[in-house]
Amino acid sequence: MCLKFGQRIVDCREDSKPLPARGMNTPAPIPRTAAVIVAAGQGMRAGQALPKQFVTWHGKPVLRHSVEALAAAGIAPIVVAIPEGAEAIAETALAGIADVRLIAGGASRQQSVRLGLEALAADAPDLVLIHDAARPILPASVIDRLIAALESKQAVIPVLPVVDSLAQEHGGMMAAAADREALRRVQTPQAFAFPAILAAHQAWQGAANAGDDAQVAQAAGIAVTMVDGDELLQKLTFASDFASGKPAFRVGTGYDVHQLADGEELWLGGIRIEHSQGLAGHSDADVAIHALVDALLGAIGAGDIGQHFPPSDPQWRGAASHQFLAHAAALIGEAGYAIANVDLTIICEAPKIGPHREAMRARLAEILGIDSAQVSVKATTTERLGFTGRGEGIAAQAVAALSAI
């Protein structure tokens, strides 16, 4: 069964072939490159309600990540082997991506690849990349290395060195050491001259489920060349691989303003500064910390300072703002993130912030539980324009970057 969806099936590279130049040799045509993605397994070890290739990971279905990467590299068509009866969920996962063809996969990986290659045979490409959907992050640099190597080779695979010591096991005991220098970790996509790998899969007589396409190629007498892979090409296999499916980085911004008033203490960036006026507000009105709290809360989608510490609540009247900042830092840890860095800008004509900058950095770092090198405090004026320029108040804006733990 072969299903096709998308607005069109076009090989854009055909349109870009250079025209013959009079009196010159005709340039060689650009090889037409297609892809087969194996997504027909059930992925039971991943412990998900759906086959893992359709589970949302980093904001998208796992399958969509690598399909988008291949499409962005100009590879078309992309044949995707899916489980029998999974057409609807696959179409939803890949909606809007042109030049994608869905086929029902076989009983084994090797059979799924063969069916995918045969689906391309009627309008055979020159080259084909064969990829496992369980490797969602597909760097463009790997694709480039594979295709470049195919200019002179028939089969190319991405590999990584083995960095851990290896041992052979027998009955739960170490039997012998293994030479890691002679071993490589093999990844996908694997790249081939199309006619050669199609013939190799059709002639395959080995085990029902070949470990990968390089084994099939070798069995057919095809020499397999290795190029550098990438650590980003991790394979999602177990439930723990999906536990870290949240974004690796998050960023939030904050902005706050408070009025300068007589008879108030001036607290900025967690320290008290001697000044003729202070900032008015329900708490100690530390405008710098308030902006920073909003940036941190915003980075994890936890609202703003007013939701956590309402001005209408009398318990926060005159409260020290470092409590608000410590609360935001605790919420970030609970969400599974660490503070990478914070950047604070204080906007005022007076007082001068420079003499207090390092004290602010140290105090903010102490409250947040991070190194002061992760805290930036800057100051600027508005050239005497607006309420800050007239000395009526102080504003602050902040940016916070978080990294997943």
192-245: per-residue pLDDT in tens? 999 999 999 999 987 667 889 999 999 999 999 999 999 999 898 777 666 655
Dihedral in degrees, nearest 10, Cα atoms 304, 305, 311, 312 = 60
Q: Do 161 and 56 share a structural domain?
A: yes
Q: Do 287 and 234 share a structural domain?
A: no
3-state DSSP assignment of residue 359? helix
Task: Give the single-character DSSP code of 271.
Answer: E
Cα separation of 189 and 157, whole Å?
Answer: 7
Q: Do 58 and 10 share a structural domain?
A: yes
Q: Do 121 and 23 share a structural domain?
A: yes
Strands 78-82 and 100-104: parallel
CATH code of residue 138: 3.90.550.10
Q: Do 183 and 315 share a structural domain?
A: no
pLDDT tens digits, 264-299: 999 999 999 999 999 999 899 999 999 999 999 999
Cα–Cα nearest to 348, from 399, 401, 297, 396: 396
User: What is the domain count for the chain?
Assistant: 2
Cα–Cα nearest to 197, from 138, 110, 133, 136: 110
Cα–Cα nearest to 39, from 50, 47, 23: 50
Q: Do 168 and 137 share a structural domain?
A: yes
CA 260 to chain centre: 44
Please give the share of the chain, as a percent, with pLDDT higher than 90. Answer: 71
CATH code of residue 399: 3.30.1330.50
- Peptide bond preceding 77 in cis form (omega within 30 of 0): yes
pLDDT tens digits, 37-90: 999 876 554 445 577 899 888 778 999 999 999 999 999 999 999 999 999 999
- Residue 379: CB atoms within 10 A of its CB come to 19
Asked if 112 and 86 count as a contact pair (C-beta separation under 8 A), the reply is no
Mean pLDDT of the 12-31 span: 47
Cα separation of 183 and 161, whole Å?
Answer: 7
Strands 375-380 and 337-347: parallel
